[in-house]
Amino acid sequence: MTGNSVSIPVTGVSVNKSSTYLAFTSSEQLIASCEPTNASNQDMIWESSNESAAIVDSDGLVTGVSKGETVITVRTVDGDFSDSCTVIVFEAGVLDTSFNSVGYVVHQNASGGFDSMDLGHSVTEDNNGKIVVTGYSQGSGSMYLVVWRYNVDGTLDTSFNSQGYVVYNSGNDDRGRNLIVNGSGNIFVTGGSWDQYDMKVWKFTSSGVLDTVNFNPPNGYVMFDSGDQEDGRGISLDVNGNIVVCGYNRINDPFDMALWRYSDSGVLDTTNFNSPDGYVFFDGGDADVGYDVVTDASGNIYVAGYILSDSEANVAIWKYTSSGSLDTANFNSPNGYVIFDGAGGAEYNGNSIALDANGKILIAGGKYESSELKCAIYRFDSDGTLDTTFNSPHGYVGFEDEQGEAYALDIDESGNILVADIFGKILRYTSLGHLDTQNFNPPYGYVNLDSASTNAELYDIHVDGNGMISVTGSWAEGINTGMAVWRFHN
């Protein structure tokens, strides 16, 4: 004899998460469970309170649409019980898959020599929004300078030297360290020829040709040779279009910080910049090196680097007037420069410098703690004093979780600070000096590009006019190392 089956009613429902972060265009499966688990009718209805942020299908698969927040609710058909999950959809820190379909490109063998080593050292954009990178490639017997130009979709711009990149080889181990692009799309690269130990500045036209007509003809580059070793590390254009380069000179052993100024035609400015030299060497008594340079609207020049003191390399900032004199009246008077060694350890290089909208000075570098190098950002007021409102009361902030060193930084329109760490991390800090764990790849505040099978090293970062982030460096997989460009939403 068969009896009638007993219907077991639903008494509740629960979702496996109460809240979650979701990158836009990505998906996450939410799981809902009826109570009791043996309820007869376990049919459920899913809905999103804000479908412009995220949508949900009939099985609880949530897909991000755009930056925003929504509440995903599940309801039981039997009894109308409900539970929900708050979904915060973010864009910042997500790879831009419109860029080469995966968000990055890797280029190898630009020199045509070996497949072993190509590296990007500096990245910016031109006035058409194209991405311009300089670095070098391992050639036959030496390094070759390379400039690459990419379209915003990640393809090489074949209108640039017909192949999307240009290679320069003097036979003297040429390396591109930094670059800047003027309003006409001309590209100025600084670095050096290491076999000759000379600082160089090259000019390439917007079509990818060395400008042998207008820039120190017939060469298309300028070379500074004092009879000893020089190298160019940072480059900027001032308000008059002059080219300002920082680096070092070894005429006073071991190193002096060096600062040169050239006209846009490649002539050393011996008339108006530290006349009659056209350059400045700073000798602090020990090793001094300038790694990056920026100019302001008044033509003042700020250099970041290091000064070796008591066998420790400490973060240094120099400020020069437009005439090439240390600004001893207005910047850490009476010195005209700052040596910072008060962050609880032996400091390291000031690798990158930027001025924010309020004229404050941001420095990317590192600091040693317990014999381990950590990524660090410092902020100073315009007079050279440490800005203790930044990560108050310190004036600096370090990423303490892992070993690292900040090689570059840039500032977006909201005052957020984007940082490239040599060991493959991209970090974003708020203008207050806090890691942006709420909005940039939450809940982390950073993106790590390293993986078990590949090794990423990051050397420069740039935020463009549309708020997109471009990062360059190298990508090693197996025995080969390629120049890499990554593109992120910000």
The confidence score (pLDDT) of residue 488 equals 96
Of 398, 401, 439, 402, nearest to 419 (Cα)? 398
The confidence score (pLDDT) of residue 196 equals 66
Bridge partners of residue 291, in order along the sequence: none
- Tell me the torsion sign for CA atoms 244, 428, 403, 384: positive
Please report, as a single letter, which amino acid is at residue 243. Answer: I
Of 187, 139, 147, nearest to 165 (Cα)? 147
Domains and CATH numbers, the chain: 12-90 (2.60.40.1080), 104-488 (2.130.10.10)
DSSP 214-248: TSTTTTSEEEE--SS-EEEEEEEE-TTS-EEEEEE
The confidence score (pLDDT) of residue 368 equals 75
The confidence score (pLDDT) of residue 309 equals 73
Task: Find how far residue 320's CA is from the centre of its chain.
Answer: 25
DSSP 123-171: EEE-TTS-EEEEEEEE-SSSEEEEEEEE-TTS-B-TTSTTTSEEEE--S
Task: Find how far residue 460's CA is from the centre of its chain.
Answer: 4
Bridge partners of residue 20, in order along the sequence: 87
DSSP 365-403: EEEEETTEEEEEEEEE-TTS-B-TTTTTTTSEEEE-SS-
The confidence score (pLDDT) of residue 29 equals 97
Cβ-contact 157, 150 below 8 angstroms: yes
Local structure of 256: helix, strand or coil: strand
**Exposure letters 18-48 (e unless 16+ CB within 10 A, then b):** eebbbbbeeebebebebeeeebeeeebebeb
Q: β-strand 469-477 against 455-463: which pairing, if any?
A: antiparallel
Both tokens of residue 51?
């479908």
Determine the Cα–Cα distance for residues 411 and 115; give it in Å rounded to an integer: 35
Cβ-contact 149, 202 below 8 angstroms: no
Q: Give the containing element (helix H, strand E) for 128.
A: none
Determine the Cα–Cα distance for residues 303 and 352; give it in Å rounded to an integer: 9
pLDDT tens for the chain, 490 residues: list them. Answer: 445 678 999 999 999 999 999 988 899 999 999 999 999 999 999 999 999 999 999 999 999 999 999 999 999 999 999 999 999 999 999 999 999 999 999 999 898 865 568 999 999 999 999 999 999 998 777 889 999 999 999 999 999 999 999 999 988 889 999 999 999 999 999 998 876 678 999 999 999 999 999 999 999 999 998 777 889 999 999 999 999 999 999 876 678 999 999 999 999 999 999 999 999 999 886 889 999 999 999 999 999 999 987 777 889 999 999 999 999 999 999 999 999 876 555 667 899 999 999 999 999 998 877 677 889 999 999 999 999 999 999 999 988 777 889 999 999 999 999 999 999 999 999 999 999 999 999 999 999 997 655 789 999 999 998 889 999 999 987 667 899 999 999 9
Both tokens of residue 369?
């703690």
